[in-house]
Every structure is written in C-alpha cells, then in structure tokens.
C-alpha cells in the first residue's frame, strides 16, 4: 500500500510502480477466476506488466523496470524526454541477455 499523501501519489515516479502492480494483480486475478487470455498487450507503461504476465520475465523484474523508468524520469526532469544512443541491431542482440541479467 502506498503510504504517501494524495499529492505524492499523483507524481509520476510514484504512480507508475503502483499502476504496474495494479495491472499485474488484475491480470492474475482474472486468470485465477478462470479467464485465460489468448494474448496480452499494453501501451507505454502497460507493456511492462503485459510482458510479465505473459512470462517474458518474472514480476519482480517488471517492477525493477518500472523503477528504472522512474529513475530515468528524475534524470530527465519534468516535461523533458531523452533518447538512448542507438546501436546497430546486431549489437543489441548480442548484449540483450547480459543486459537482462543486470536488472
């Protein structure tokens, strides 16, 4: 449970981890009630719990991704965006497994 004030909860860096947990909990509750999806999808932050629910990674890894996004938001500052340095696709493929282990 979030123990902060309403104003603190409205801040993106606090809202996103809460939304992640609520999305994932809702998906598990629906599955446990007998509804089995054929596919899952999400947009923006919703992609993270969708992938966790689909089994791409465990729930804690998804939560860590939300926290990393939260840290990136703090680094950029309000109303700003950042673009990661682009690497050739072949470079991304070879580094993908080591990057996931660092999470």
| pTM assigned to the model | 0.64
pLDDT at 73: 59
Helix (H) or strand (E) holding 17: helix 12-32
pLDDT at 92: 45
Contacting residues for 37 by C-beta, under 8 A, at least 6 apart: 27, 30, 31
How far apart (Å, rounded) are the C-alpha atoms in residues 45 and 16? 7
Give, as one character, the DSSP assignment of residue 85.
P
Q: Sign of dihedral through CA atoms 85, 90, 93, 96?
A: negative
pLDDT at 86: 46
Instruction: Write out the chain's pLDDT in tens, 103 residues.
Output: 567 788 888 887 788 888 999 999 999 999 999 998 888 998 888 999 999 999 999 999 999 888 876 666 555 555 555 554 444 444 444 444 444 455 4
């Amino acid at each position: 449970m979030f123990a902060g004030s309403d104003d603190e909860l409205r801040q993106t860096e606090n809202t996103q981890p809460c939304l992640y947990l609520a999305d994932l909990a809702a998906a598990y509750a629906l599955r446990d009630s007998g509804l089995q999806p054929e596919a899952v999808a999400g947009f923006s932050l919703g992609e993270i719990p969708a992938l966790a629910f689909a089994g791409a990674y465990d729930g804690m890894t998804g939560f860590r991704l939300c926290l990393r996004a939260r840290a990136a938001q703090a680094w950029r500052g309000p109303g700003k965006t950042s673009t990661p340095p682009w690497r050739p696709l072949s470079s991304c493929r070879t580094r993908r497994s080591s990057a996931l282990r660092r999470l």
